[in-house]
Amino acid sequence: MSASERGGRGAGAGGKSAPGRQKVRKGGNRTPSQRAWLERQLNDPYVARAKREGYRSRAAFKLIEIDDKYRLLKPGGRVIDLGAAPGGWAQVAAARVGRATGRGRVVGIDLLPIDPLPGIDLIELDFMADEAPDRLRELLDGEADLVMSDMAANATGHRKTDHLKIMGLAEAAAEFARAVLAPGGAYLAKVLQGGTENTLLADLKRDFAVVRHVKPAASRSDSAELYVLATGFRGRADSPASEPSED
């Protein structure tokens, strides 16, 4: 469900490419924007690192950097990855909650099929489907500690339209998070700078103790993407952890 990040850095002064930079030859059926995207992939150190370390996408390093700072993925934690394809974020989550030793749970959901990943439950389903919250809670065997989303709708090239589309996904993901998070849980989602992301932050502040924007180093500096991080979910009236215990 995640869209490809398009566009590329311009050439250096005088139109020359940077030393050692790989170029894609003109010709064939590629458009200029496709060539620019391919050149950026070929010259991106995070793409090369992802291949070396066995991650399915460079986006894995965004989550690693965010988690290194904010400690969202705790041993034994239950995690839902919305729009999980191709699986890079789910891989990071599985490693950090301890799936290799049988600890924690990680569930990935996407409209696209995802090749199997060890220790991770992957389902092909729209997270906005009525049955999705119950289905994922069942797979987790309880409520989630973290709902995360690196989703981005397919880009149109029109900045305002693309901003509104990704904000719509982030808002829908926030509603989903409210339905499945345990008290104290966290929500992390990609947004784009453009103004309306502040409306989402204000909305989240009603249900979470702390809400902030974060931009990891692995997020390209020329990209408008940010991540909204909400921690300390205050819970729902129907949450098992919110119900009074029977003595």
- Is 150 annotated to bind a ligand? Reply is yes
Output phi, psi for 184, to 5 deg. Answer: 90, -5
- Is 37 annotated to bind a ligand? Reply is no
Nearest of 214, 45, 73, 76 to residue 147 by alpha carbon: 73
Give the E-state strand segments of the chain in sequence order. 78-82, 105-110, 121-124, 144-149, 181-192, 208-214, 225-233
Q: Is 205 an annotated catalytic residue?
A: no
Pairing of strands 121-124, 105-110: parallel
- Is 67 annotated to bind a ligand? Reply is no
DSSP-derived 3-state class of residue 188: strand
Marked catalytic residue, from 62, 69, 160, 190:
190
Annotated binding site for S-adenosyl-L-methionine: 87, 89, 110, 126, 150
Catalytic annotation, residues? 190
Annotated binding site: 87, 89, 110, 126, 150
